[in-house]
Amino acid sequence: MEDAFGAGPPYTVGVEEEFQLVDPASRALVPAVDRVVAAGNGTNLVTSELSRSCVEMVSPVFGTAAGLAKRLPELRREVAGMARDGGVEIVAAGTHPFSDPTGQPLAGGAHNARIEEEMGWVARTQAIYGLHVHVAVPDGEAAVRAVGALARRVPLLVALSANSPFWRGSDTRLASTRVKIFEMFPRSGLPPAFRDWEDFVRHVETLVASGSIPDYSWCWWDARPHLRFGTVELRAPDVQTDASHTAALVALVQCLVAGADGRAPEDPLFIAENKWRAVRHGMDATFYDFAAGESMPARSLARELVEELRPISQDLRCEAELEGALEIVARGNGAELQRAAFEKDGSLEGLVGHLSDATVSRQGRPHRSR
């Protein structure tokens, strides 16, 4: 399989943020992506996704997470301007609080048509909105090491990024409803425990030969090698309402990829147990170390990981952005903040308005420890 690994410097970063398109008056989802993309006049900043009520912002490549953090609020404002030109607003949250996802038409194109044909009703449920973080790696072996390192941390990354507690008019009691909806797709969830690059290639080629997939891009795991971009891609997080939370997650992922040491991959079945705890309880989860036989609260684990990664963050010049993960620990993840906003206002329509404002109003400045 051809790949673009090593085409540029290692550990550069970029993100894809999937935004809801909502009506400014009713706050309901609107299938307006064609209008928004057209308003971009050919820019590469935005594209469509599976649902027509979603617009995806594709960031430039940045040498540092600090560079991305500085530009991200501006990029969001650009997309918000295109949305306004198309008669809608953008909202960054993993699910829409009350619109029926199955009522959203799918975007056009051969790729989406094939997904709808193969997935049936499941494709209609996917009006969900994620954050994809890309980190460049030098070669395939580094990609497999990085996928293993990210997979081990998926539960904590889900806990930090959970931002979808409301769905179809109700509080689901999950921190990330989006994760469970997306897991209805085949080849989603945690990646297999690949031993090396050859193992990954053999796995994908077997699926292609069986007729299960046309190419590697139909493996929608939480973390995967992205051959065309020459990156490792983390796909587990919900899109973040606060741009500074996005920057913190990017720094965390960049440090994990740069520090991947090639240790033996962990059993995905055990990781999945902790991932469920994160999906259900977010930062209130308690994770279990199956090797050590010990439990640790998610908040304690996050603080420990930030401390562990601090030397790498200094090398990558993203120390301040990495510290932003501690702001999530202290202030709450998106799910906690959504519930607090809803409790204050009591209206899901009001919550969407709050999310719309917060998507473009926060400046994305990371927390600085005192």
Predicted local distance difference test score (pLDDT) of residue 246 = 98
- The secondary structure of residue 183, as a DSSP letter, is T
| Domain-embedded: residue 2 | no
- Report how far residue 264's alpha carbon sits from residue 37's, in angstroms, rounded to the nearest whole number: 44
Confidence band, pLDDT 50/70/90 cuts, at residue 367 = very low
Confidence band, pLDDT 50/70/90 cuts, at residue 351 = very high
Q: What is the dihedral of CA 187, 241, 168, 16, to 10 degrees?
A: -30
Residue 143: left (phi > 0), alpha (psi -120 to 50), or beta? alpha
The total number of structural domains that make up the chain: 1
Residue identified by tokens 């080849």 is 187
pTM for the model stands at 0.95
Predicted local distance difference test score (pLDDT) of residue 365 = 42
Predicted local distance difference test score (pLDDT) of residue 369 = 35
- Among 152, 140, 22, which Cα is nearest to 91's? 22
| Domain-embedded: residue 370 | no
pLDDT tens, residue by residue, 190-220: 999 999 999 999 999 999 999 999 999 999 9
| Domain-embedded: residue 167 | yes
CATH at 104: 3.30.590.20
- Among 195, 192, 157, which Cα is nearest to 274's? 157
- Domain span at 344: 13-361
pLDDT tens, residue by residue, 4-53: 999 999 999 999 999 999 999 999 999 999 999 999 998 999 999 989 99
Residue 154, pLDDT > 70, answer: yes
| Domain-embedded: residue 345 | yes
Q: Give the SS3 label for residue 58.
A: strand
The length of the chain is: 370
Going from the C-alpha of 203 to that of each of 154, 190, 212, 219, the distances in angstroms are: 21, 15, 12, 10
Q: Give the SS3 label for residue 110.
A: helix
Q: Give the SS3 label for residue 171.
A: strand
- Report how far residue 104's alpha carbon sits from residue 73's, in angstroms, rounded to the nearest whole number: 28
| Domain-embedded: residue 98 | yes
Residue identified by tokens 């606060």 is 242
Predicted local distance difference test score (pLDDT) of residue 362 = 54
pLDDT tens, residue by residue, 78-116: 999 999 999 999 999 999 999 999 999 989 899 999 999
Predicted local distance difference test score (pLDDT) of residue 363 = 47
Q: How far separated are the first and last CA of the chain, in Å rounded?
A: 48
Token pair for residue 197?
A: 């690059």
- Report how far residue 206's alpha carbon sits from residue 304's, in angstroms, rounded to the nearest whole number: 39
Most confident of 41-45, 145-149, 259-263: 145-149
Using an 8 Å Cβ cutoff, are 154 and 275 in contact? yes
Residue 366, pLDDT > 70, answer: no
| Domain-embedded: residue 369 | no
Handedness of CA 345, 350, 355, 357 (dihedral sign): negative
What pairing do the DSSP bridges indicate for beta strands 54-58 and 13-22?
A: antiparallel
Predicted local distance difference test score (pLDDT) of residue 293 = 95
Q: Which contacts qualify for 73-80: CB closer than 8 Å, 24 or more apart?
A: 73/243, 73/360, 73/362, 73/363, 73/364, 75/45, 76/17, 76/243, 76/359, 76/360, 77/360, 78/45, 79/19, 79/36, 79/45, 79/46, 79/55, 80/359, 80/360
Predicted local distance difference test score (pLDDT) of residue 91 = 98
Express as a percent the part of the chain with pLDDT over 70.
Answer: 98
Report residue 176: phi and psi, to 5°: -130, 95
Confidence band, pLDDT 50/70/90 cuts, at residue 370 = very low
Predicted local distance difference test score (pLDDT) of residue 368 = 37
| Domain-embedded: residue 177 | yes
Residues 6 or more apart in contact with residue 357 via CB below 8 angstroms: none
- Mean pLDDT for 298-324 is 98
Mean pLDDT of the chain: 95
Predicted local distance difference test score (pLDDT) of residue 344 = 94
| Domain-embedded: residue 368 | no
- Report how far residue 274's alpha carbon sits from residue 263's, in angstroms, rounded to the nearest whole number: 19
Predicted local distance difference test score (pLDDT) of residue 364 = 41
Residues 6 or more apart in contact with residue 295 via CB below 8 angstroms: 286, 287, 288, 289
